[in-house]
Chain A
Amino acid sequence: MSTTQERADTQKRFTLAKKGFDEADDRFASSRWFVSVLDKIFPDHWSFMVGEIALDSLILLILTGVYLTFFFIPNSRDVVYAPTAGHVYAPLVGQHMSEAYQSVLNISFNVRFGLLMRQAHHWAALVFLAAVVFHLCRIFFTGAFRKPRETNWIIGLTLWMIVMLEGFTGYSLPDDLLSGTGIRVIYSVLEGIPFVGTWITYDLWGGRYPGTTFITRLFIVHEFIFPALIVGLLSAHLMILWRQKHTDFPGPGKTETNIRGSRVWPQYAMKAGGLAMIVSGVIFALAGLVQINPVWIYGPYTPYTVSTGSTPDWYVAWLDGAVRLWPHWEFRSFGHEIANPFFPGLLIPGVVFTLMYLWPVVDRKIYNDHERHNLLDRPRDKPFRTGVGVAAIVFFADLTLATGDDILSNNLHIPFERILEVLQYGVVIGPVAGFLIAYKACKALQRTDAHPIRHPVGGMIVRAADGSYHTLGEAHAPHAGEDGYVEVEKAEEHAEEHAEGR
C-alpha cells in the first residue's frame, strides 16, 4: 500500500525525531521517561473527562485573568465617574465610586474585547467549579479516595476550598453593590470569631470596616496568592495521579493489577487538545451571548445601600444559605459573646470540611477495608457510603436554595418566612430522608442486577448461532444467549486465573 515515496518520508521524519530525542537524552538521559509519557495508558470513561474540563477552564481562567490585570486598578480611592475618551456608561456619570469600580466599567465599555474577557473569566469560573464539584462527587461515590489515593482526596478537598474562595475574592474585586454586600457579611463572620475576631478583621482590612486598603489586598490574594496555591496543589494532585495511575471501573478482563485504556500518544492527546478547544469555545459563546455580573446595573458600593435579591455565585451560595437559615441565636456570658454569623459562616463549614477530610478513615472503619484499590466501586454496592453522599448533596442543595429565598418568594408568591421555615426543617430532615431513600434504592438495585460483569445493566443484546437475539445476562430469558454468556464467563475465568497465578 505504501509507496516508496511515503516510506522515504516516514524514514526522514523518524530520523529527525530520533535526533531531537537524542539531543535531549544526551543531557537528561530522558528517553525512558519520554516513552513512559507517550505510552502512558488512560482508561476511557466519560466521567473521567470532567477532571480534564476542570483543567481546561483553569487554563482559560489564568489567561483571561492575566489579561484583566492589565486594566483593573485595585484601589478604593473615591473618584467621580466622568466622560473620558471613548465610551462611557451614561447613567452613572457624575456618581461617586471607587477607582476599582471605575476601572471595571472601563474594561466593560472602553476596552475592545474587554467585556468579552471579563465575562469569559466569570463563565470559566462557573464551569470550573461545576467540574470540580462533579469530579468530587465522582471520586466519592465510586470510592476512588480509598487507599492508596487518600492523599489526593485531601489535596482535592483543599483545592475545592481554595477555588471557592478564589471565586469569591474574584467577584468581590469590582467593588459593586452586590459584591460589597458579600464582603460586609464576610467581615461580620470573621469579626464574630471568639477571642481574635476583631484582631483578624483589623489586620485584614487595615482598620475598621470598610478601610481603604482592602481592595488592594484582595487583588493580591486573588491574582497571586490563591492562584499560586491552586497551581501548586494541582501540580501535586496530577503528579500523584500520574504515579498512582488512574482508577477504573470493573469490567471484563480488568483486575486490580492491570490497567486498560489507550495510550496517550497520539489519539488520547489529540482528543484532550480538542476537548480543551471545545471547552474554550463553549465558554466564549457564553461570554458573548449570556450576560454575567453586569456591575454597571448594580451600581457602586456604599455601606448604606443594598438591593434585594443579592445572591452570591452558585458555588458559595450554600455558605450564604447557612447564614440565612441559622436561627437568631448568639451566645453571651461573662461580658463576652460569640456572634451569630460565626456559627453558620465558619463553624458549620468547618465541621462539614472536617468530616469530608476524615471520610477515607471513616470509610475504612465502616467497611473494615484496609486494602489498596484500583478498581472502583459501583455506588449501589456501597449503600451506606452512597447514602451519606446523597445526604450531603441534599444538605448542600437545601442551603443553596435558601440563598435564593427572597427570589423564590417573589416568583412563587409565598411569604419568605414560610420558605425559610421549610428550608430550616429541610436542612435537618432532608439529609436523613435522602440517606434512607438512597440506601433502599441501592439495596433494590443490588437485588435486581446481581453482578456488573455477568449481568450488565440495561442488558447487552447478543445474537445466537441460530440468528435469534437475546438479552445477555437475563437469567430467566427462555433461550439465554449461550454464546455471549459463555464468552463473558470465559473472560472472567481468564481474569481470575491471572489474578491468582504468577
Chain B
Amino acid sequence: MSRPEIEKLQLERLQKIVKHCMNSPFYKKRFDEINLKPEDIKCLDDLRKIPFTTKQDLRDTYPFGIASVPLEKCTRLHSSSGTTGNPTVILHTEKDLQEWAKAVARCLHMVGLRPSDVFQNSSGYGMFTGGLGFQYGAEHLGMLTVPAAAGNTKRQIKFITDFGTTALHAIPSYAARLHEVMEEMGIDPRKDTKLKTLIIGAEPHSEEQRRRIEDMLGVKAYNSFGMSEMCGPGVAFECTEQNGLHIWEDYYIVEIVNPDTLEPVAEGEVGELVLTTLNREAMPLLRYRTRDLTRVLPGECPCGRHHKRLDRMKGRSDDMIILKGVNIFPIQIETILLQFKELSTDYLITLETKESNDDMTIDVELNDMFTDDYGRLQSLAKEITRQIKDEILVTPHVRLVSKGSLPKSEGKAVRVKDLRKPF
C-alpha cells in the first residue's frame, strides 16, 4: 500500500469506528460533553478534536464500561494484572480475534516465515496475550505451531530438536537460558537444530544483547511490539532490515505527543505513542495514550513497505523527569552508562534542590578498579558527564561509588530519587 492509499483507508476506517464508538456509553458521554459529532471528523487531522483515552479510563470503567458492543457478541476477554488499582480488561468479538491473528500472521510472514516452518511458542499462555496471540497468528499463517508455553527448559530443547522447530518466540533472557542449557546438554544449536528465526519482545534489551543472542543460537532475532490494550502482539514488528518496527497503519493511527503538553512532537522526535484502533469491534480505543516512549523513524525503509517505522521503545512516559524545564528519561542516561565497561549496570539518579536550583547527581558503580591513577578515575567521571550532558542538555554531577553499594535494579523506582522541595 502506498502512503495516499494508507491515508485514504485510515480516514474511511476512522469515520466508521468513531460512529461505532457511539454505542459505547463511555465514548458517547465523552463526545456529548464537548459537543463533538462523528460527522465532525472530516479529515485525518480532525482526529485531534477527539479527547485522549487513558489507562485510568480503562480502570474507571472496569470491567466492561468502554465496550461498543453488547457483551453477548464478545467471545474472548484478556485482562492485565492490576498492581495499582483495578486491572484493565480488553474484550474481543470473533471478528476481532480473526483480525488479530491476521495482523500477527502478517508480522511473521514479513520476517520470512511460511507454512513449511515449525513455530514453537515458548511464551506464557493464559491472560498473557503473547501466548494466544502468537498461537493464533502462527496457525493463521499455516505453520505447525507448538504451544510449548514457558518453562521446563530441557523439554523445550527436546521439542526443538524432535519437531524440527525453525522459529521460536521467547523473551530474550529465556533465549539466553535455552542456549546455556543446550551447551550443558552438548547440543550445538547451529548443527543439531533447525532454528533460524527468533521472535523477541516484551522484555527490554539492548541492540548488543540481541546480537549476542543471534550469535549464540545462530538465528536472526526480530523485535515485536504489542500491548494488551491493543490486542497484544501484532501491533508493530521489525522487518528483515532490523531497523525500526513497522506499525500496521491499516489497523492503527499513530501519533507521537509530548507527554507534558500533549501536543504533537516535531517529526522524528521522541514522545509518547498514542494509538487509535481502526478495526476493532468489541472495544475500539480512540487516541489511547500508551505511555510508551518512542519516535517515528524518518525516511523510507529499504524493504519498500510504506507503513511507518517506530524506533525501539525508550521507556515509559511515567518515568519522565523534568529538570530545569528539560524533559529527561532515565533510559537516555542508562543507554550511555551501559557503554562504559568500567561501570556496573546499577546506577542511581538523585534530584535535589541546592540553593534553590535543581541539581542532578548520578551515582555510578565502578565495576573494577581498572587503575591506580586518580587522573584516570577523574577523566572517566568527566567523560561520563560530558556524554550525558550532550544527551540531556543538563550537566549532572557524576559520582563514582564502590561496587555493590547501590540498590539492585529490581524496580525502576529505585533508579530515581527525587528529593526536590516543592516550592
Say whether A associates with B. Answer: no
Chain A interface residues toward B at CB < 8 A: none
